[in-house]
Amino acid sequence: MEKVENIVVIGGVAAGPKVAAKVRRQDPTANITLLTEEEYLSYSICNLPYFIGDIVKNPKELLVREPAYFKNIFNIDTLLCHRAIKIDTAKKEVKVLDLETQKEKSFPYDKLILATGASPIRPPIKGIEFQNIFTLRTIPDAIKIKSAAEQAQRAVVVGGGLIGLEVAENLAKRGLETTVIEKLDQILPPLDRDMALLVEKHIKAKGVDVSTSDGVESFEGKRDGKVYIVNTGKRKISAELVVMSVGVRPNVQLAKEAGIELGTTGAIKVNERMETTVPDVYAAGDCAETINLVTGKTAWIPLATTAAKQGRVAAINATGGYDSFKGVVGTLVVRVFDLNVAKAGLSEKEALREGFKPETTIAVGPDKSLDSKEIMVKLIADKTSGCLLGAQIIGQGNVDKRIDVVATALNFGATVEQLSKLDLAYAPQYGTAMDPLITSANVLRNKLAGETVGISAEQVKAKLERREDFILLDVRSPREYQEARIEGCRHIHIYELAKKTGELDSQKEVVTYCGSGLRAALACRILKNANFKDVKYMDGSLKAWPYELKV
């Protein structure tokens, strides 16, 4: 094993500190230098929205580790406010600008690890230079936004992704009248539209204005240099505070200039040992690519969890060991007011885009036996292989547990059948004897076997709008039906259905619905037994219906 004298790590958040600490554990004597252009080291980016919302009160609580910790425990020199400006891969040297003294320094390296992270996109919209238009990525960003929020009454968040929604919620909870503007026709782009619509409904009910298929055309300010108006294609919104949350880009300029190859995603190309295309240079975290294990394709999914794992792998390989990072399955979770929203693997639209033949299902169930809350599980599987492709789970109940099970199952290429038979833990405080995830998998197995056919709320809505000739059948109890129903439905209580099939035209397409899909699916079986030729049930039924009901 070659002797490593100098190890330089560029990047002070997530992957960088992880690399440095692990390098020291592997190599007791190397000189380790951890550089960051920021004034803070090793903090939690994911907690920043909650600092704005005062859930995290003090910036110090955002810090994971302080420089003294690295020095005292690991004998690692951490240099804050030091910007790496050039990598000379031939001389194996990093040129660094000390932002305080404005002096340049050089650091030789035997091994170099790039953990340069990602930066928020700040699109060149007219008026973007006005004050109080922020992006959120660093502690100073968060401090500025919080301080501006203290004086503002109205805020606009541009971008309805995960961070955008977290920021919007925290601003709204501070009492600001908050609007989210999203270019796409749905918030939370990684989700399918059907699930995203339900989240949108929830956010609106909490008092946050959401405008989809809408983009900012310009900002208007006043003489004081501050923003006052956000112009979208649709309207003018007054706001004294704007947070741009339209995505991030990997920080790759330094690598690119050094001749380190970028991948198709625009992030730094690495192999599973986190090696870049240049010898002795590694990359980890948000600046690096990875593999989506569900598709087998290169992906760029910048997340703190991945950064930590990649950092460890890079550190082990950079110190003469062997480790590999095979990839991710695209797991995410976000809390949106009272709603937990999670995803792993592919959405239905992503599965289609990737050339799979997806079958999907939506099932609703209680998350526990005692003191339960509801969750809705959408599963996506490949019709050809029967393999699970992904899941989206939302609800006030516990979704993170189920998504972690899905993520683990996806990691091992599980079939839907395997998912349906997992030995998940049960006691009344934690779950139900048949977990909603297990039930969903069984419902999906029925579909994959051709025993039942589902149809989405969106498709039913479209059929109604096109005035198609089909029977929409509400099979709930008379009381439920009286309370609220989909306009244009017929009603036969499931208890009566077997006797009353003669009242319906068995040659017509029938779509059944109930509260959450269970009785609707049973109704399909009853109709099939009565020789109806085309019966479907509405997936998730009224629980998954994001539109108006007739009351």
The interface with a copy of itself within residues 262-301 (CB under 8 A) comprises 293
Residue found by looking up tokens 């100073």 in the block? 140
Q: Which is nearer to a copy of itself, 56 or 81 (CB)?
A: 56
> Judged by CB, which is closer to a copy of itself: 29, or 482?
29
Nearer to a copy of itself, 323 or 458 (CB): 323
Binding segment (CB under 8 A) for a copy of itself, from list 41-49, 135-143, 236-244, 263-271: 41-49
Q: Which is nearer to a copy of itself, 433 or 484 (CB)?
A: 433
> What is the number of other CB atoms lying within 10 angstroms of the CB of residue 327?
21
Strands (E), 124-223: 133-135, 154-158, 177-181, 209-211, 216-221
Binding mask of the shown chain, residues 306 to 345, with x at each position contacting a copy of itself by CB under 8 A:
xxxx--x------------xx-xxxxxxxx----x-x-x-
Q: To the nearest whole angstrom, how small is the minimum distance from the Cβ of residue 221 to a copy of itself?
A: 34
Q: Least separation, in Å, of the C-beta of 461 and a copy of itself?
A: 28
Which of 5, 54, 75, 488 is in the footprint of a copy of itself by CB under 8 A?
75
Residue 407 binds to a copy of itself (criterion: CB under 8 A): yes
Catalytic residue among 46, 81, 287, 514: 46
Nearest-10 crossing angle of helices 304-318, 15-26: 30
Question: Smallest gap, in angstroms, from Cβ of residue 219 to a copy of itself?
Answer: 30
Nearest to a copy of itself of 73, 352 (CB atom): 73
User: Where would I find the beta strands (DSSP E) of 111-254?
Assistant: 111-114, 118-120, 133-135, 154-158, 177-181, 209-211, 216-221, 227-232, 236-238, 241-244, 248-250
**Amino acid, single-letter form, for residue 86:** K
Q: Report whether 422 contacts 391 (CB < 8 A).
A: no
CB of 330 to a copy of itself, least distance (A): 7
Which among 23-31, 78-86, 180-188, 247-255 is the span making contact with a copy of itself, rule CB under 8 A? 23-31
Residue 305: how many other CB atoms lie within 10 Å: 13
d(CA 122, CA 119): 9
If one asks whether residue 481 binds a copy of itself (CB under 8 A), the answer comes out as: no
Per CB under 8 A, the list member of 121, 434, 462, 484 interacting with a copy of itself is 434
- Enter the tokens of residue 446: 């029925």
CB atoms under 10 Å from CB of 279, counted, come to 9
Total of residues contacting a copy of itself (CB under 8 A):
76
Judged by beta carbon, residue 264 or residue 305, the one nearer a copy of itself is 305
- Asked if 438 is part of the footprint of a copy of itself (rule: CB under 8 A), the reply reads yes
CB 471 within 8 A of CB 433: no
User: Which C-beta is closer to a copy of itself: that of 495 or that of 547?
Assistant: 495
* Segment interacting with a copy of itself, rule: CB under 8 A, options 39-47, 78-86, 135-143, 275-283: 39-47
Interaction between residue 85 and a copy of itself (CB under 8 A): no
Smallest separation, CB 17 to a copy of itself (Å): 11
46 is catalytic: yes
| End-to-end alpha carbon distance in the chain | 75
Separation of alpha carbons 524 and 492, rounded Å: 13
Residue choice 1, 2, 3, 28 for contact with a copy of itself (CB under 8 A): 28
By the rule CB under 8 A, 403 interacts with a copy of itself: yes
DSSP class of residue 63 equals: B
Choice between 21 and 133, CB closer to a copy of itself: 21
Smallest separation (angstroms) from a copy of itself to the CB of 263: 19
- Cα 275 to chain centroid distance, Å, stands at 27
Max CA pair span of the chain? 88
C-alpha distances in Å from residue 219, one per residue of 127, 131, 171? 5, 10, 20
Sole binder of a copy of itself in the list 6, 31, 44, 271 (CB under 8 A) = 44
User: Of these, 34, 96, 318, 405, which contacts a copy of itself (CB under 8 A)?
Assistant: 405
Q: Which residue type, as a one-letter code, is found at position 48?
A: L
Site for a copy of itself in 409-428 (CB under 8 A): 409, 411-412, 414, 418, 420-428
d(CA 78, CA 66): 9
Window 492 to 521, contacts with a copy of itself (CB under 8 A): 494-495, 498, 519
Q: Look at the alpha carbons of 16, 20, 26, 31 in this order and tell me if their dihedral is positive or negative.
A: positive
Q: Taking CB under 8 A as the criterion, which residues in 361-380 touch a copy of itself?
A: 369-370
Closest distance between a copy of itself and the C-beta of residue 243, in Å? 18
DSSP assignment of 355-414, as one string? T--EEEEEEEEES-SSS--EEEEEEEEETTT-BEEEEEEEESS--HHHHHHHHHHHHTT-
Question: If we measure between CA atoms, which residue out of 411, 282, 294 comes closest to residue 350?
Answer: 294
Minimum CB distance to a copy of itself smaller for 427 or for 462: 427
Taking CB under 8 A as the criterion, which residues in 441-480 touch a copy of itself?
Answer: 442
Q: 433 - beta bridge partners?
A: none
Question: Active-site positions?
Answer: 46
